[in-house]
Amino acid sequence: MSVTPAPDHPAPDRPPGSRLARWTSALNGVLPVVSAALALGLIVGLLMVSASFGNSTGTLASSAEGTSSSAGGGGGAALPGKGKKVTLEFEEGDMYIKPNKVTVPAGADVTVNVVNKGSQAHTLSLLGKTSNQLQPGKSETQHWGVLTESTQAWCVIPGHKEAGMLVEITVTGGESGTAASGTTAAAGGDKAAGDSANAKIDPAAKPAAGWKPHDPTAPANDGKDVHEVTFTVTEKEIEVAPGVKQTRWTYNGSAPGPTLRGNVGDTFRIKLVNKGSMGHSIDFHASKVAPNVEMRTIKPGETLVYEFKAQFAGIFTYHCGSDPMIYHMGNGMHGAVIVDPPKLDKVDKELVLVQSELYLGPQGKPGDMAKMLAGDYDAVVFNGYHNQYVHAPIKVKPGDRVRVWVDDGGPNENIAFHVVGTIFDTVWKDGAYRVRKDNDEKGGAQVLDLQPTQGGFVEFTLPDAGTYPFLGHKMKNMATGGLGVFQVG
């Protein structure tokens, strides 16, 4: 008998409001943030897909007719595949399965051969029934048994199905007819159920007693030439807004991860230990190294030593680079490294603010990757928690000179960092000063504008007692949690 694959569809490229008075009132309790309309973006492609994917085709092979009585069922003798044995061949990679559509006759007894040609572990699981993880370069045979109606199979490792590792299996000639209607209805039902189950942020809620904010104080430069640190990857439940918890994928238990600091010429030696349930990695934007060597994905239980020499000054993002990258970053796997410019001036108070977005999944679960791909965020936050520096304002003494390092961890949104009630007399961005204190031009700046994974710092003073809001001056981002307050005096 002949069994023909449906045409492959190549995956997309994977490239990887009174102003001061209103904001000041936040100190009396909780900021009355109104809901802003969320932007729906186009679904972006994912990084690191096999270059050959679009040009390759899968192979389906059929064996001789079988005589197993178990091949009946569903449609009885009317099933065109009754008594037939069919073997399907699949190839998995990062992030694809090919072919991604197949057709088999109803009643056929199906066996599957699958090979993993990707760089990390995958599964191929019928209807999401968990199968063993298939390591890179390995192959296995699965017996799916008799199929009488259309169905799906996918990789069950978090985010992989949403990234494109899904096979549509159309069963023809059965009582249910072609699979399109049944498959579509099932997928739609899953999506609707998932959306309704996602956690929601109450902007009027307050943190529970005993809650502590993420300390925004910048780490001191210890003056050492070599900085050795261990980053342990764990997947843990963390509160991201009052009463809202998500499973965050973390470096050393926090999202964002720890901030590192040193000088130009210093060596950073990071031991990455994966104690998570899936493959993870790390990519330091401050480094010049071979990505396939030091940024490679490591399996649970493995370790990797990532070493680089800091050659340029600035604040640089680090993040997990494992596929799907947007899912690992969107679940909290990012942080910052500060490499001090030479002759950096002393200041009275030095802070680090990392902006990122929250794409909420169900309570206690990882974020919603479909929303990440669409840019449909639930909140924009500083240092991982909704409006945390409204709930716990950052205290500054009158007249203190303040430096704020800002890193846009993304994965999608930009920032125009602004402090209400002052002007930045010093601005550093992308390796150079844009404005210097006491410059001949008498220039100042009102915002520090950054795209995802860009960074810089600003310096300013707050001379008078009072409350000074800081925010990303993209108003819908401020309204969804990207706001804090400096409390002076």
* Domain CATH for 390: 2.60.40.420
Task: Name which of 6-10, 106-110, 204-208, 278-282 the model is least confident about.
Answer: 6-10
The answer to whether 71 touches 82, Cβ cutoff 8 Å, is yes
Across the chain, mean pLDDT equals: 82
- Reported as a single tens digit per residue, the pLDDT across 130-183 is 778 888 899 999 999 999 889 999 888 887 887 788 999 999 986 543 333 333
Query: One-letter amino acid identity for 25?
Result: S
Judgement on whether residues 270 and 164 belong to the same structural domain of the protein: no
Judgement on whether residues 250 and 145 belong to the same structural domain of the protein: no
Q: What is the pLDDT of residue 173?
A: 84
Judgement on whether residues 151 and 248 belong to the same structural domain of the protein: no
Q: What is the pLDDT of residue 347?
A: 97
Judgement on whether residues 156 and 301 belong to the same structural domain of the protein: no
Q: Does the residue 137 lie in any domain?
A: yes
Q: What is the pLDDT of residue 175?
A: 55
- Reported as a single tens digit per residue, the pLDDT across 457-475 is 999 999 899 999 999 999 9
Q: What is the pLDDT of residue 408?
A: 97
Class of residue 272 by CB neighbours under 10 A (exposed 0-12, middle 13-18, buried 19+): buried
Structure tokens belonging to residue 351: 């802070």
Is 155 annotated to bind a ligand? Reply is no
Q: What is the pLDDT of residue 19?
A: 39
Is 122 annotated to bind a ligand? Reply is no
- Reported as a single tens digit per residue, the pLDDT across 409-428 is 999 999 999 999 999 999 99
Is 319 annotated to bind a ligand? Reply is yes
Q: What is the pLDDT of residue 486?
A: 98
Judgement on whether residues 151 and 245 belong to the same structural domain of the protein: no
Q: Does the residue 178 lie in any domain?
A: no
458 sits in which H/E element: strand 455-461
Q: What is the DSSP letter of 44?
A: P
Percent share of the chain, pLDDT over 90? 66
Judgement on whether residues 162 and 307 belong to the same structural domain of the protein: no
- Reported as a single tens digit per residue, the pLDDT across 50-97 is 333 333 333 333 333 333 333 333 334 467 778 889 999 999 988 889
Q: Does the residue 448 lie in any domain?
A: yes
End-of-domain residue from the set 137, 152, 172: 172
Judgement on whether residues 163 and 245 belong to the same structural domain of the protein: no
- Of 45, 93, 36, the C-alpha closest to 373 is 45
Residue 427: helix, strand or coil by DSSP? strand
* Mean pLDDT confidence for 204-209: 94
Judgement on whether residues 124 and 271 belong to the same structural domain of the protein: no
The answer to whether 362 touches 197, Cβ cutoff 8 Å, is yes
- Of 283, 285, 229, the C-alpha closest to 431 is 285
The answer to whether 329 touches 300, Cβ cutoff 8 Å, is no
Is 280 annotated to bind a ligand? Reply is yes
Confidence check: pLDDT of 49 > 60 = no
Q: Does the residue 68 lie in any domain?
A: no
**pLDDT bracket for residue 235 (50, 70, 90):** very high
Q: What is the pLDDT of residue 196?
A: 64
- Please give the residue range of the domain that contains residue 248: 226-488
- Cα-trace Rg, the chain: 26
Judgement on whether residues 273 and 419 belong to the same structural domain of the protein: yes
Number of domains in the chain: 2
Judgement on whether residues 256 and 324 belong to the same structural domain of the protein: yes
Q: Does the residue 341 lie in any domain?
A: yes
Confidence check: pLDDT of 194 > 50 = no
Task: Name which of 82-86, 258-262, 402-406 the model is least confident about.
Answer: 82-86
Q: Does the residue 410 lie in any domain?
A: yes
Is 418 annotated to bind a ligand? Reply is no
Structure tokens belonging to residue 91: 């190839």
Cis peptide before 99 (omega within 30 of 0): yes
Confidence check: pLDDT of 1 > 80 = no
Q: Is the pTM of this model over 0.85?
A: no
Is 320 annotated to bind a ligand? Reply is yes
How much of the chain is helix, strand and coil, in % rounded to 5? 15, 40, 50
The number of residues in the chain equals 489
End-of-domain residue from the set 138, 172, 206: 172
Q: What DSSP string describes 26-40?
A: GGGSS--PPP-PPP-
